[in-house]
Amino acid sequence: MKIISTNIGKPTEFIWQGKTETTGIFKKPINEPVFLTKNDVLNDEVTNRLNHGGYYKACYLFSADQYPYWKELYPNLDWT
Protein backbone atom coordinates (compact mmCIF):
# COMPACT_ATOMS: atom_id res chain seq x y z
CA MET A 1 0.00 0.00 0.00
CA LYS A 2 1.20 3.51 -0.83
CA ILE A 3 -0.14 6.48 1.12
CA ILE A 4 -0.84 9.33 -1.31
CA SER A 5 -2.16 11.90 1.16
CA THR A 6 -2.73 12.25 4.89
CA ASN A 7 -5.35 14.88 5.83
CA ILE A 8 -6.49 16.41 9.10
CA GLY A 9 -8.83 19.25 9.95
CA LYS A 10 -10.58 21.50 12.40
CA PRO A 11 -14.35 21.94 12.84
CA THR A 12 -15.92 24.20 10.23
CA GLU A 13 -19.26 25.99 10.47
CA PHE A 14 -21.51 26.39 7.44
CA ILE A 15 -25.15 27.16 6.68
CA TRP A 16 -27.24 24.17 5.60
CA GLN A 17 -30.95 24.62 4.90
CA GLY A 18 -31.03 27.82 6.97
CA LYS A 19 -29.26 26.34 10.01
CA THR A 20 -25.68 26.71 11.18
CA GLU A 21 -24.01 23.30 11.20
CA THR A 22 -20.54 22.25 12.36
CA THR A 23 -18.57 19.51 10.65
CA GLY A 24 -15.09 18.03 10.68
CA ILE A 25 -15.36 16.66 7.14
CA PHE A 26 -13.17 19.33 5.54
CA LYS A 27 -9.63 17.99 5.82
CA LYS A 28 -6.41 19.40 4.38
CA PRO A 29 -3.24 17.50 3.44
CA ILE A 30 -0.26 17.65 5.77
CA ASN A 31 3.40 16.92 5.07
CA GLU A 32 4.39 15.44 8.39
CA PRO A 33 3.84 12.15 10.20
CA VAL A 34 0.65 11.73 12.22
CA PHE A 35 0.28 10.09 15.57
CA LEU A 36 -2.56 7.58 15.40
CA THR A 37 -4.06 6.11 18.56
CA LYS A 38 -6.88 3.60 18.71
CA ASN A 39 -9.26 6.50 19.44
CA ASP A 40 -7.95 9.57 17.60
CA VAL A 41 -5.52 11.13 15.16
CA LEU A 42 -3.42 13.75 16.97
CA ASN A 43 -4.24 17.33 15.86
CA ASP A 44 -7.36 16.23 13.97
CA GLU A 45 -10.70 17.23 15.47
CA VAL A 46 -13.95 15.29 15.36
CA THR A 47 -17.25 17.12 15.92
CA ASN A 48 -19.67 14.18 15.84
CA ARG A 49 -18.34 11.65 18.36
CA LEU A 50 -21.47 9.53 18.06
CA ASN A 51 -20.59 8.42 14.53
CA HIS A 52 -16.95 9.44 14.05
CA GLY A 53 -13.70 9.01 15.92
CA GLY A 54 -13.26 6.76 18.89
CA TYR A 55 -12.37 3.11 19.15
CA TYR A 56 -12.09 1.46 15.69
CA LYS A 57 -13.09 4.75 14.01
CA ALA A 58 -10.02 6.96 14.47
CA CYS A 59 -8.81 6.80 10.88
CA TYR A 60 -10.75 6.73 7.60
CA LEU A 61 -9.10 5.48 4.43
CA PHE A 62 -9.99 5.86 0.75
CA SER A 63 -8.47 3.77 -2.00
CA ALA A 64 -7.26 5.83 -4.98
CA ASP A 65 -9.37 3.45 -7.09
CA GLN A 66 -12.52 5.04 -5.59
CA TYR A 67 -11.77 8.58 -6.74
CA PRO A 68 -13.11 8.25 -10.32
CA TYR A 69 -16.50 7.34 -8.84
CA TRP A 70 -16.54 10.37 -6.52
CA LYS A 71 -15.24 12.70 -9.23
CA GLU A 72 -18.06 11.62 -11.53
CA LEU A 73 -20.64 12.02 -8.77
CA TYR A 74 -19.34 15.50 -7.75
CA PRO A 75 -17.65 16.97 -10.86
CA ASN A 76 -17.72 20.57 -9.57
CA LEU A 77 -15.53 19.88 -6.53
CA ASP A 78 -11.80 20.66 -6.55
CA TRP A 79 -10.22 17.20 -6.46
CA THR A 80 -6.61 18.33 -6.27
Q: Where are the domains of the chain?
A: 6-73
52: closest CA among 44, 12, 21? 44
One pLDDT digit (tens) per residue for the chain, 80 residues: 788 888 888 889 989 999 999 888 888 899 998 888 888 888 888 887 777 777 877 777 788 888 899 899 999 988 77
The model's pTM is 0.66
With contact defined as beta carbons under 8 Å apart, do 21 and 32 qualify?
Answer: no
pLDDT in tens, 22-36: 888 888 899 998 888
Dist CA 33 CA 41 (whole Å):
11
